Structures are given as C-alpha cells and as structure tokens.
C-alpha cells in the first residue's frame, strides 16, 4: 500500500518535485529557471529545496559557468521513488 510522504505533501514541495521528476533521469535544472517556472521567490524556493535536500530527495550542485555561479538541482533516485509512491497514494485516496 503506497504511503503519503509528509515532506513532499506541502504544495510548493510537491510542485518542485513534479518539475524535477519531469526531467530525464540524471538531468539537472538551473535554480533560477525552476523558480521562474514555478513562480516561487528565491528565498521560498531555497527553503523548500533545503528541506528536500535534507531528506535526500534532491541534490543541489553549485558550479561555475562562464565564471558565474550557477546552482543546478536534480532529483535523487530515492526522491523519484518517494514522489511516485506519494502520487500513487493520492490516486488511492481518489479511488476510495
């Protein structure tokens, strides 16, 4: 029986996870691109990402492109699995 995930259940984190899961496995999205896509402020997005990273669902990678700092985000295998289970649990609730 699939279980809901308390960390993913927050609306903002659910949307962040959905956006990152939509990427091909192993792909990473730039922080500001994700913020614009989801219409989240940097502070709000950063706080939620920290929670997701602490849970091991998201990996945050800081790098430099053309000498400018860039932050890339990718979902981990654990995060992808938990997200899929959470979505399945939501479907189960709808079926009740």
Partner 1 sequence: MNEEPTFAPSPAEARAALAEVDLVLAQTRHAIRQGISAPLLILWGCLWIVADLTTQFHPQAMAWLWWVLDLVGIVGWVLIFKLHGQRMKSPRGWRYGAAWGILFFYAILWVNLLVPVDWPQTNDQWNAFEPVFRRITAYFHTVPMFAYVIGGLWLDPFFIWLGAIVTALIVLGFCFVHEYFYLWLAVTGGGALVVSGVFIKKFWK
> 10 vs 76, which CB is nearer to partner 1?
10
Q: Three-state SS for 55?
A: coil
CB of 78 to partner 1, least distance (A): 18
- The distance of Cα 78 from the centroid of its chain, to the nearest Å, equals 11
Cα Rg for the chain, rounded, in angstroms? 14
The size of the interface with partner 1 (CB under 8 A), counted in residues, is 35
Q: Write the binding mask 49 to 68 for partner 1: x where contact by CB under 8 A, - elsewhere.
A: ----------------xx--
Query: How many other β-carbons are positioned within 10 Å of the β-carbon of residue 54?
Result: 10
Q: Are 8 and 57 in contact (CB under 8 A)?
A: yes
Q: Which residues make up the interface to partner 1 (CB under 8 A)?
A: 4, 6, 9-12, 14-15, 18-19, 21-24, 26-30, 33, 37-38, 44, 47-48, 65-66, 70, 72, 87, 90-91, 93-94, 96
């Amino acid at each position: 029986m699939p279980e809901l995930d308390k960390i993913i259940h927050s609306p903002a984190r659910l949307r962040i996870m959905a956006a990152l899961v939509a990427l091909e496995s192993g792909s990473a999205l730039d922080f500001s691109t994700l913020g614009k896509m989801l219409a989240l402020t940097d502070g709000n997005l950063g706080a939620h990402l920290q929670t997701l990273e602490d849970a091991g669902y998201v990996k945050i990678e800081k790098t430099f492109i053309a000498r400018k700092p860039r932050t890339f985000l990718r979902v981990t295998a654990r995060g992808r699995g938990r997200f899929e289970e959470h979505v399945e649990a939501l479907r189960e609730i709808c079926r009740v």
